[in-house]
Chain A
Amino acid sequence: MATQVALTGNDAVAEAFRQVNPDVATVYPITPQTELMHAFAAFAADGLVDTELVTVESEHSAMSACVGSAAAGARTISATSSQGLALMWEILYIASSYRLPIVSAVVNRALSGPINIHCDHSDTMGARDCGWIQIFSEGSQEAYDNTIQAFRIAEHPDVLLPAMVTLDGFIISHTMEALEVISDEQVKQFVGPFKPATNLLDLDNPITIGPLHLPDYYYETKRQQAEAIAQAMPVILEVADEYAKVSGRKYGLFEPYKLDDAEVAVVALGSAAGTAKVAVDRLRAEGIKAGMLKLRVYRPFPGQQIVDAIKHVPAVAVMDRSISFGLDGGPVFNEIRSFAYGQKIDFLSYIYGLGGRDVPVEDIQDVFRSLVKINESGKVGNVYNYMGVRE
């Protein structure tokens, strides 16, 4: 039975974690994630979960404890933001290379400096090569649904990789939204009992985890890891199908919105996707054939699938809420344009919303108008743009 509840994004993820009832949670506060684990810690203190809550002294320790816990065969979670994710960096790579299916929420926040507590995607974009599955959420509903699905994806025998589910700091994490939750029993059934593939405490089958790999074996191990995250792609879709049967909500690798007959389109991820949908509707009312593609799964990157979805659109703008310093255009832009090599699409890059800079619908409408101008004039002009910065 679906129940409608009003929850903030942080509370929605904490609720999903409660229903999953993991074995171990490693906890360290950082704005804007703090309330998420605060809520979960209350569940633990109230006896609503069986989780061993490990309060650590830093995020580096939080992720290290996750690695130890997951290697010991426990279903393990954490949550962080920004500097916290940055401090986890070296251990993020270790978690994925040991093939440990940890699930962590990342409440997106700008990286210092200058210090800032508000939303952008520089934290998770910086971690895009660390071997974790990355799933972005537009709102609280998606953050809740993605969190539940993340366990099944991460723990799938063909995958066995850690997964991060992101939600935009404050914009989603602290905004109350009506969402539908499924029952505790449904989540329990859906996620299933944890059958660890790696278990240091299995004394009958002793293993060493994390031994030195020299040039003779390191490469093969990394190649195998690359295959594992590629295998996550079909698994994400299988899990989404199964989740749709339980929840009635169907997810793909991305969500096309009014894209079929679009002549101009925007690609966005996170909360700005919702804003872009409003911009699409307004432009459609003016007779402009606007569409958008909301990216949900960023790692593994569904490059070819995205190109198949947008190849009929002559002008496309890709929105990046982060900068890859020294590279023209943001990471999402560069990856999509690379996959679209040989297609007849004119691309524009728009960096936007850094450090929580507001993303008004009008600004995205202007992005669409720049695309309309390309279609009308056949001239692209400035490819690399910054939306909403004072020039």
Chain B
Amino acid sequence: MNVKKDANWREVPRGGSISEAGSSAEYETGSWRSMRPIHDKEKCINCLRCWILCPDSAIQVEDGKVIGIDYMHCKGCGICAQECPPKVQAIKMVQEGD
């Protein structure tokens, strides 16, 4: 990002504009989370419903397989756990901090 994290009021871009594409990838939203999804690779059938439905693109997939969750961006909405097929239940939500 072209704005440093602790930029003072003289350094922030005029009018709050952003001059770099895709910079939201560098913005941490994971700290907003109160519930944390835990993915169980053993149970997962890699149907990728969670990957399709995650609003924060936080399901990490490699070679067609779910390999983990991007906790820097996951806001803990729980859609992945809800949409994981009932017979599979590969994702469960746990209280953050527990």
Contacts and interface: CB of A to CB of B under 8 A. Distances in A.
Interface of A: 97-100, 160, 197-198, 205-211, 213, 217-221, 223-224, 227
Contacts of B12: 217, 220-221, 224
Interface of B: 3, 7-12, 14-19, 21
A170 B9 CA distance: 43
A211 B19 contact: no
Of A197, A206, A221, A223, most B-chain CB atoms within 10 Å: A221
Nearest to A221: B16
Closest 7 CB pairs of A and B: A99-B15, A223-B9, A208-B18, A220-B9, A221-B16, A98-B15, A220-B12
A97 B9 contact: no
B contact face: mostly helix, strand, loop, or mixed: loop
Contact of A211 (B7, B9, B10, B16): B16
Nearest to A217: B12
Contacts of B15: 97-100, 160, 198, 209, 221
B10 A224 contact: yes
Contact of B17 (A198, A220, A223, A227): A198
B17 A208 contact: yes
Nearest to B32: A214
B25 to A, nearest CB: 14
A220 B7 CA distance: 8
A227 B12 CA distance: 13
Contact of B19 (A205, A217, A223): A205
Which of A99, A100, A218 lies at the interface centre, i.e. has the most chain B CB atoms within 10 A of its CB?
Answer: A99
Contacts of A223: 9
Given A97-B16, A210-B17, A218-B16, 17 more contacts: A99-B14, A99-B15, A197-B14, A198-B14, A198-B17, A205-B19, A206-B19, A207-B17, A208-B18, A211-B17, A217-B7, A217-B12, A219-B9, A220-B11, A223-B9, A224-B9, A227-B9
Nearest to A226: B9
B43 to A, nearest CB: 36
A171 B15 CA distance: 37
B17 A98 contact: yes
